Structure 1
């Protein structure tokens, strides 16, 4: 029996409703959410007539961005543990291997220099990494307040002050957001940007220091390990040319006999530790040094990593109209550094820059001074 209501059979509506019910019962909720998300992405490709290539590309790569954000959030603590383990291993090698060698062979003046400079680096690296990891970058208020804001966040549905951007990994808006750093498991924003940059500077400086000062030790350790391999590979009675060694092998008394290797397990560990330290510090010095120089350039221009791309697009857009774009937050490179480091007087270059300091940055991150021309922010 079929009963038609409004020109349509009831049994067809019942079949559709039953099919939807079976879909909700049989399919897990996570699969249904992914299916709805895929449908939303497909519909967003033809949202309106103003859809551009950038919109289509962003929509197509949205699943990739989503996966990268989830993986970064998941492995954030793993990256922090890696930084702690690698840094601690270098400090351990310095104390157990390099320090006794320095005390035995170096002049007193150089001993004092290495002890003071090395411990200053350790204190600065530990302090700034801890502060950069544990200090919240700053978040705008969740509700509309009297603070000025320039737009609304489409994901948080909250007002956004100037220089505020949404972080997909932290799933919240960040004041003066620069980027999300997986090695900190934290966003780099208004209240911890200085800690992040100082950590990059001192860690790069420490890696360069270890790489340069340990170059001769690395060469000796490498030659020692290569000579040991040659001794183990050659049969007895074959002469082997001696090379400069760091630890372990006694020079041969006769050139017609191959000396037996006298390397102990401790000698091998010492040489391998020196090789490991030099390779790791040299690699980090090159990679992190490039990142540090990039951020130093951005600070000199009064920009963040996100604002760098925004300002570039604005310059291109206004150049087509024969107009010039000026960054409203650029106060001159010296004033930018003073503002970034929190320097108010000359003594602060020592107490707030060369020594660990937990002073807050200028401003609250909600409002920003806009200077049409260069002028000194603070007397120094």
Structure 2
């Protein structure tokens, strides 16, 4: 067999190109190869899966975005925790350094007792529940063989899941009665710390609303003082009062001497006024935003469901409504009993010792089974 020179040259070029492409491919870092293989698997899953629908396509396309968000949230969780600690500590510092001396000097003894008692109770509730919410494990299903019933198998953990258990992409494991992953806690909100999370939100909302309402007049006075001295340029003592000072009433009635020395406005007064404005703006904003979140979680607790179950139950209710049937949440025991189960109230005294005071008691069940409660479901008329 005779070889044509052009054919031999073509064959050599092909071999060289393949070897160069292989060398170039081998020069890629390992993490780049893993990402390329992962992306190719995502694309292939769209047309190799016989059960592909719009939801699968959407999840596959946005999987890199979800992975990036989970990664960033996982590594920046500690930053959010420190941000909560710093902001809360700044408000407490302003309350002790600025507001408390004003309360002692201007309020009656009854109001002083109220502000001191309520303020310190609110502070203890915030600190206790935030610490417990961040440090308490949300609860994980056992990895070894167990006798508890399970309803499905996690497609990511490849482990059996009990009822109300869901997988958290940020924690990268299944969570018992998962509600959501909270970056401000750097922790998942699940069965064993859900009560701490809600009580922290409620206590912080009450504390911010308390500071916002009680400090409204101080905020207005501080804001007006800053604006007044800003326009009159009276930050340094000895500057003469201009005609504007007479117009806004800084001089006594009948006095028209524009060269009267102005009262001193020190750096300390300026910082006090700015700290009051900072406290009022921050607490008012948090009270509105966190108050809306707290009300939403209170509604979910009354219904006996979590944030994830709310979406699932809504879809199930619509599906059964098309068949002419009514969906009943199997984990709802009635509004009052749902609150008793959530707060761990077993007798009347627990409303004080376990609700109004800091308490580290465990939930009424283990998070694996949900049929052993000491309460009965409310009778729902058919």
- With the length of structure 2 as denominator, give the TM-score of the two structures: 0.89
Q: C-alpha offsets along residues 182-206 of structure 1, whole Å, 9 cap, x if unaligned? A: 0000000000000000000000000
1:252 maps onto 2:257 in alignment = no
The equivalent of 2:190 in structure 1 is 189
Q: Which residue of 2 aligns with 1:137?
A: 138
Correspondence for 1:47? 48
Query: What corresponds to 1:103 in structure 2?
Result: 104
Aligned partner of 2:297 in structure 1 is 295
Q: How many residues align?
A: 362
Instruction: Give me the whole-angstrom Cα distance separating, in 1, the residues matched to 2:46 and 2:127.
Output: 48
Q: Distance in 2 between matches of 1:243 and 1:352?
A: 55
**In the alignment, which residue of structure 2 is the partner of 1:5?**
none
CA–CA separation in structure 2 for the residues paired with 1:311 and 1:297: 14
- SS of the aligned residue for 2:185 comes to coil
How far, CA to CA, are the matches of 1:16 and 1:180 in structure 2? 50
Structure 1's consecutive aligned runs of 4 or more residues displaced over 4 angstroms after TM superposition are: 10-21, 233-236, 241-244
Residue ranges of structure 1 left out of the alignment (5+ in a row): 3-9, 245-250
Q: Distance in 2 between matches of 1:359 and 1:206?
A: 24
Residue 181 of structure 2 contacts residue 188 of structure 2 at CA under 8 Å; is this kept in 1?
Answer: yes
Contact 2:138 2:175 in 1 (8 A): yes
Closer, same or farther: CA 237–222 of 1 in aligned 2, 3 Å: closer
Please name the residue that 1:65 is paired with: 66
CA separation in 1, counterparts of 2:21 and 2:337? 63
Q: 1:327 to 1:264 in 2, by over 3 A?
A: same
Give the superposed CA RMSD.
Answer: 2.6
Pairwise mapping of residues 1-380 of structure 1 onto structure 2 (< 5 A)?
18=19, 22-23=23-24, 25-232=26-233, 237-241=242-246, 251-253=250-252, 254-257=255-258, 260=262, 262-369=264-371, 374-375=377-378
* Cα distance in structure 2, aligned partners of 1:212 and 1:13: 79
Q: Highest Rg: 1 or 2? A: 2
Alpha carbons 1:144, 1:159 under 8 Å: kept: no
Alpha-carbon shift at residue 277 of structure 1 (Å)? 0.2
Listed as ranges, the gaps of 5+ residues in structure 2 are 3-10
C-alpha spacing 1:91/1:242, structure 2 compared with 1 (3 Å): farther
Shift in Å, 1:17: 8.3
Is the CA contact 1:343–1:352 (under 8 Å) kept in the aligned structure 2? yes
